[in-house]
Amino acid sequence: MRHDASVAEGVGEALLGALSGLAKSVNGARSRQVSGVADEDWRGLERHARLPSQLLAFHEALRVTMLAGRVGLLARVRDHGRTVALLPLCRRRGWMSRWHAAGERQVYEPVDALYRDGAAVAALGRELARLRRPLRLERIPEDSLLVGALRAAMKGRGVLVIRPATGCPTIAIEPGGGDPETRFNAGRRSDFRRARRKADAEGAVTFELHAPSREQFGTLFDEAMEIERRGWKGDAGTALACDPVKAAFFRDFLGRASDEGACRIAFMRIDGKAVATQLAVEFQQRYWLFKIGFDRAFSRVSPGNLLMLHALSDATARGLLGIELLGEVEPWIIEGWTREAIACLRLQTYPFNLHGLAALVAEAGNWVWQRRPGRRVPA
C-alpha cells in the first residue's frame, strides 16, 4: 500500500513544516481540498461506514461552512491507486495547535476513520503516528479498529493516552418487535396516552415524515429551524437560527443528503400548525437524529415526546435497526427513552518531539492549576 497525506487548500508553509517528519513512503503534501480524494473512491468506501460523520457529504459541508480559518489535512492510504482508508483532520493555526478529527469539535458528534479493512486501517494508523503534532480524537467508537491500529503504530514514536468518552444514546429495534410502546413501563405508556389526549383536545393531530427532494428541502428546513427557535433552544441561544454558521452547515449537509434520498424531516402538527420537528439522516438502516425541537407554547402536550414515539413506530414498521440520538447521554434520554449507548473513547497522541512535549507540559500545568489549593469549584 502507498500512503498519501493530502493537505487542505490554502495551508501554506506552516503545515508543510509540520509534515516534514513523514516517512518517504508519503507521496508528498499537495494543496487541495479536504475532500481531495476522488469522489468515487470516497463513495466506494462509504459502504464500510457506520457513522454519518464519515460521509463525503458531511465533510464537503464542513469544508465550505465551519472549517474557515482552520488548517486541514486528509490522512489517507492508497492501494494500487485507490484510496482504502482516510481520516480528515483539522487544527487551528499556531505552533501549539494539535490535530483533531474534522467535525468532532464543530458539531460535537462521534467520528471515526473510514477504511476498507484491517490492513488499510493499520496503514492509516502508521500515517497518523508519523504526524509531528499531537492528535486528539474526542469521541471515537470503542470498537473501532483505529484504536488498536493507533496503539500499535505509536510504539516507539510517542505516547497514546486512551480514556472513556461520552457515549452516544441508541434505541435498538428488534426485527418484528411489534408495538414499540410495549418496550416502556406502564407509567411511561400512561404519560404518552395523557399527552395524546391533551394534544387531541387542542385540535387535529397529524404526523409527517418527509424524504425531501432538493427542491422541497429548503422550505421544510426553514420551517424546522423556526420551530426549534420557538423552543427552549431559542431562549438559550443554541438554536440553529441563533448560529448562522452551524445553520449553514446543516443546510448544506442535509441538502446534499436529500440529493441521495437520505434526508428526513419530521413534523407533528396540530390543526396544521407545526409544533415539533426532527432533522435526521437515514443511513445503514438507522435513523440518525441530528436536531429536535418543539414550540414551547405547546409544551403542555409534550409534542417532542409524541413525535419521537411516532418516529420510533415508523422506524419499527419499516424494519430499521435503530434510532441513533447522537449528542450525549442526557437525563431526559435515560429517563424517557433508553439507557443503551454506543461506548466511545478519547484518544490523545504525544509524539516524541517538541510538539508532544509542549502538549504534555501544557496539559500538566492546566491540571495543576485546576486543582490548586483554594480554587473555588463552581456550584
Between 31-45, 214-228, 278-292, the lowest mean confidence (pLDDT) is in: 31-45
C-alpha cell at 125: 494508523
Q: State what percent of residues in the chain have pLDDT above 70.
A: 89
Same domain, 199 and 136: no
Same domain, 237 and 124: no
Residue 147 inside a domain? The answer is yes
Say how many domains are in the chain. Answer: 2
pLDDT value of residue 36 = 60
* Full domain range(s) for residue 252: 174-320
Instruction: Say whether pLDDT at 252 is over 70.
Output: yes
Helix then strand then coil, in percent of the chain rounded to 5, is: 40, 25, 30
Task: State the amino acid at position 215 in one-letter form.
Answer: E
For residue 85, CA distances in Å to 28, 82, 162, 264, 285 come to 17, 9, 22, 28, 23
pLDDT value of residue 218 = 97
pLDDT for 149-160, tens place per residue? Answer: 999 999 999 999
pLDDT value of residue 24 = 28
- Give the domain CATH number at 89: 3.40.630.30
Same domain, 146 and 218: no
- The average pLDDT across 203-230 equals 97
- Taking the complete model, does pTM exceed 0.75, yes or no? yes
Instruction: Say whether pLDDT at 26 is over 60.
Output: no
Same domain, 180 and 155: no
Check: CB of residue 325 under 8 Å from CB of residue 333: yes
Task: Tell me the C-alpha distance between 361 and 134, whole Å.
Answer: 13
pLDDT value of residue 17 = 31
pLDDT value of residue 376 = 64
Residue 272 vs residue 19, higher pLDDT: 272
pLDDT for 191-216, tens place per residue? Answer: 999 999 999 999 999 999 999 999 99
Same domain, 141 and 231: no
Between 62-71, 269-278, 322-331, the lowest mean confidence (pLDDT) is in: 322-331
Task: Tell me the C-alpha distance between 361 and 237, whole Å.
Answer: 36
Reported as a pLDDT band with limits 50, 70 and 90, residue 1 is: low
- The average pLDDT across 86-98 equals 94
- The average pLDDT across 101-110 equals 90
Residue 31 vs residue 113, higher pLDDT: 113
Check: CB of residue 362 under 8 Å from CB of residue 96: yes
